[in-house]
Amino acid sequence: MIELHSLTKVFGNAAAVRDVNLTIQPGEFFSLLGPSGCGKTTTLRMIAGFEEPSSGKIVLAGDDVTWTSPRRRNVNMVFQNYALFPHMSVAENVRFGLKIKRVKDPEAGERVADMLAAVRLEGFERRVPAELSGGQQQRVALARALANRPEALLLDEPLGALDLKLRKEMQLELKSIQQRTGTTFVYVTHDQEEALTMSDRIAVMNGGRVEQVDDPRRLYERPKTSFVAGFIGTSNLLTIPVDDRSGGVATADLGDGMRLTCRDPVTSNGSVTITVRPEKIGLAPWQPGRAEPADKTGSRVRGTVAENVYLGSMTQLIVEIQTGERLIVNQLNDRAGAEPIQPGSEVVLSWETENSFVVEDDRQERKVGA
Ligand code: ATP
């Protein structure tokens, strides 16, 4: 539905979007996710035609629209501030775009009714925006944008103005509206949980570049870079000196049965950066003198609990391990009366080899580029 080829936008002498290549499928809920200033909105505005690319190509439903005016592109944009007409009723707001496109009754009336049903606002036709809640206003904005039957709907942080509870409800609502209408959605957000909840696929952007495009599960389970690992959920990064590679497993031997492992491919011996999620790590008290089981595989590393943070359903432990690095470990609070592990406790952390994998470490690169 949408193809971006080497899309680049330079403002003055700073590149806001750098060499972005993406293909978005028809009917897909596709999100652009990244921190403030990473180029999400600029990318979306180029798709809409509000911003001209410095170089590259935009293809919409097979047509090259790179230099086509916004009005001639069959896409619609929904903004955070809704941009509803305050003096018009809900029905008039939804009908507005149809008037411009010269869609006449009875078709216009039918489309307005269909769209208000799709966003569950039947019965609200005569109200004006001031008589609606924030969530309802956003649904009117959606209905207005969808009434034109755009090939794609471009949404720029559309839930940003809503409070947390309403935002969560609207996330599910938006996803179901998208599924009911079958419209391609391109959604801009800096909120990783929001993107994970709604998207079929997500492009994670950083410094104007796309770092990884994947479905939510793969982004979380198999981040390719340290940036993606840290931006999607909480992640532990460890730099390990690999001194053995056999049977598809790379190992850093820490002595006394302790080691860090990860799945190869590791391109060469030497240091690699690996990641492990906090919920994948098991924790047991350290028992001096107890021999480590020789047949165990995976990572085993000693550490000292530095902090414990009670978070209701779980406790987050910060553990300083024997390499000097700090790992976050999540422990479910699922046993009645269990005492939290206190700072200063000596522990052994362990996790399966499959839960660690090598990521491209772009921490240094970002510091240089910042
Ligand atoms: P946010 O989540 O804060 O909206 P974003 O990821 O959408 O951020 P963009 O709005 O695309 O980021 O901006 C990317 C970069 O381009 C930023 O550094 C921004 O300051 C710069 N930028 C955006 N628009 C312009 C402009 N019209 N003129 C100059 N610089 C701009």
Looking at ligand 1, which residue's alpha carbon is closest to its atom 29? 11
Q: How far is the CA of 42 from the centre of ligand 1 (A)?
A: 6
Q: What is the pLDDT of residue 294?
A: 60
Q: How confident is the model at residue 366 (pLDDT cuts 50, 70, 90)?
A: very low
**Confidence (pLDDT) at 135:** 82
Specify the fold of 237-358.
OB fold (Dihydrolipoamide Acetyltransferase, E2P) (2.40.50)
Closest ligand 1 atom to residue 208 Cα is 14
Q: Write the pLDDT tens digit of every residue in 268-278.
A: 667 888 999 99
Could you count the other beta carbons within 10 Å of the beta carbon of residue 268? 8
**CA 55 to ligand 1 centroid distance, Å:** 17
Say whether pLDDT at 205 is over 70.
Answer: yes
| Section 169-196 average pLDDT | 90
What is the CA(275)–ligand 1 centre distance, in A? Answer: 30
Q: Ligand 1: distance of its center to the CA of 286 in Å? A: 50
Q: Left (φ > 0), alpha (ψ -120 to 50) or beta: where does 102 sit?
A: left
Q: How far is the CA of 112 from the centre of ligand 1 (A)?
A: 35
Ligand 1 atom 19, closest CA: 37
**Residue whose CA lies nearest to ligand 1 atom number 31:** 11
Q: Which amino acid residue places its CA nearest to atom 2 of ligand 1?
A: 36
Instruction: Tell me the CA end-to-end span of the chain in Å, nearest whole number.
Output: 34
Least confident residue range of 25-29, 83-87, 154-158, 287-291: 287-291
Taking CA atoms only, the protein residue closest to ligand 1 atom 18 is 37
pLDDT in tens, 257-316: 889 998 876 666 678 889 999 999 999 998 877 766 666 689 999 999 999 999 888 999
The ligand 1 atom at the shortest distance from the C-alpha of residue 43 is: 11
> 80: burial class by Cβ within 10 Å (0-12, 13-18, 19+)?
middle
Give, as one character, the DSSP assignment of residue 256.
T
Residue 142 has pLDDT above 90, yes or no: no
Query: Which protein residues touch ligand 1 with a CB less than 6 Å away?
Result: 11, 16, 34, 36-42, 190
From the CA of 42, give the closest atom in ligand 1.
Answer: 11
- 9, 17, 41, best to mutate for ligand 1 pocket (most atoms within 8 Å of CB): 41
pLDDT band for 126, please (50, 70, 90 cuts): very high
- The protein residue whose alpha carbon is closest to atom 20 in ligand 1 is 37
Taking 60 as the threshold, does the pLDDT of residue 112 lie above it? yes
Take atom 9 of ligand 1 and give the residue whose Cα is closest.
Answer: 39
Res 363 pLDDT > 80: no
The average pLDDT across 94-104 equals 85
pLDDT of residue 293: 63
Contact 215, 184 (CB under 8 A): no
The helix (run of H) or strand (run of E) holding residue 211 is strand 209-214
Kindly state the tokens that stand for 105: 């009754």
Are 362 and 226 within 8 A, CB to CB?
yes
For residues 114 and 206, which has the higher predicted lDDT (pLDDT)?
Answer: 206
Which DSSP string corresponds to 137-178? HHHHHHHHHHHT--SEEEEESTTTTS-HHHHHHHHHHHHHHH
Write the DSSP string, 288-325: TTPPPPTT--SEEEEEEEEEEEE-SSEEEEEEEETTS-
Q: Is the pLDDT of residue 215 over 90?
A: yes
* Cα 41 to ligand 1 centre (Å): 7
- The residues facing 184 across adjacent strands are 152
Gyration radius of the chain over CA positions:
25
Longest dimension (CA), the chain: 85
On the question of a cis peptide bond just before residue 106, with omega within 30 degrees of 0, the verdict is yes
Percentage with pLDDT > 90 across the chain: 51
Of ligand 1's listed atoms, the one at least distance from the Cα of 190 is 2
CA 262 – ligand 1 centroid, Å = 38
Global pTM?
0.85
pLDDT at residue 5, rounded to an integer: 97
**What stretch of H or E contains 64?**
strand 63-64
Q: What is the mean pLDDT of residues 92-97?
A: 90
Domain 2-229 has CATH 3.40.50.720: no
- What is the model's pLDDT at position 133? 87
Domain boundaries, the chain: 2-229, 237-358
pLDDT tens figures, 54-91: 999 999 999 999 999 998 898 988 877 768 899 999 99
> What does the pLDDT read at residue 250?
87
> Residue 143 burial (CB < 10 Å; 0-12/13-18/19+)?
buried
- How remote is the CA of residue 131 from the centroid of ligand 1, in Å? 33
Average pLDDT value over all residues in the chain: 88
Indicate which atom in ligand 1 lies nearest the CA of residue 38.
Answer: 6
How confident is the model at residue 156, as a pLDDT?
92
